[in-house]
Amino acid sequence: MKRRTFLSSTIAGASLASLPVINSTADDTKGNRQVFDLKTIRLKLDKHKLFDEYAEKALIPSLNRLGAKAVGVYVETQPPQTQPKPLTYYVLVPYDNVEQWATISAKLSADAEYQKAAASYLAAQAADPIYDRIESSLLRAFETMPKVEKPSGKPQVYNLRIYESHNEAAGQKKIEMFNQGEIAIFRRVGLTPVFFGETIAGLRMPNLTYLLAFNDDKARTDAWNKFRGDPEWLKLKAIPEYEDKKIVSRITNTLLTPAAYSQI
């Protein structure tokens, strides 16, 4: 066995072994429910151009070539201000299953074409880093939305929301609520979903994360207002076991702008 092949296999195996045990189904093993790698990257001041060049010309082409079909890149929206502020980027990579995630992750680090294209980014020195740190979560798609859905047109506003729960049972109950009807209501009122995922490895577990797309901020505001008054939503949230105070302990709400080169 060649040394590079051995190393890739070893890294992939270690990545899989480090994951927590999760409730798997036949659909998961067949790849019918995707997994998503969602990275949060808090850049240092004035490093966004270097990161954009890296993501557009090195990371995304390499991931596409290795089998990840589409990559989303988004920037956290900032209010108007007089002083420049470091940007936070979100990178979304869908995979067919956990095995593909582990395999591509191992291959990327050893890929000569990627190393060449990413040379400037990878050569950053400790005295002048590009970012503070990268936070990464691995998510498993919901049963009723098993794959990322690329929105039509060119949405300019994305809404990333994270729902944390006080324990695993409460987290599963909120997922059940989405699967039982909330996602369908979202679609009907204009809250266009890109993905819904349960975090199986990452920060602030247990939690679920989802991403919505809108043409502009007015469309976002109108859709949420329509949702809040929707009769089916009012009926669903009135079910005692679905009360927010019983199953959701914290919600993080972030507005994002897609990078010009984002594929999702």
Q: Residue 213: which CATH number?
A: 3.30.70.100
Whether residue 263 is contained in a domain is answered as no
Say how far residue 235 (Cα) sits from the centre of its chain: 30
Q: Is there a domain that residue 264 lies in? A: no
Per-residue pLDDT tens over the stretch 195-249:
999 999 999 999 999 999 999 999 999 999 999 999 999 999 999 999 999 999 9
- Structural element, H or E, at residue 63: helix 60-66
Q: What is the C-alpha separation between 11 and 9, in angstroms, rounded?
A: 6
Q: Is the pLDDT of residue 107 over 60?
A: yes
Domain containing 10 equals 3-258
Cα–Cα dist 153/149, whole Å? 12
64 phi, psi to nearest 5 deg: -60, -45
Q: How far apart are CA 26 and CA 194, in angstroms?
A: 24
What global pTM score does this model have?
0.87
The phi-psi region of residue 104 (left if phi > 0; otherwise alpha if psi is between -120 and 50; otherwise beta) is alpha
Measure the CA–CA gap between 111 and 116, rounded to whole angstroms: 9
| pLDDT tens-digit map of 1-53 | 443 333 333 334 444 333 333 333 334 445 589 999 999 999 999 999 999 99
Let me know if residue 234 belongs to a domain: yes
Query: What's the number of domains the chain is made of?
Result: 1
Asked if residue 151 belongs to a domain, the reply is yes
pLDDT(66) > 60: yes
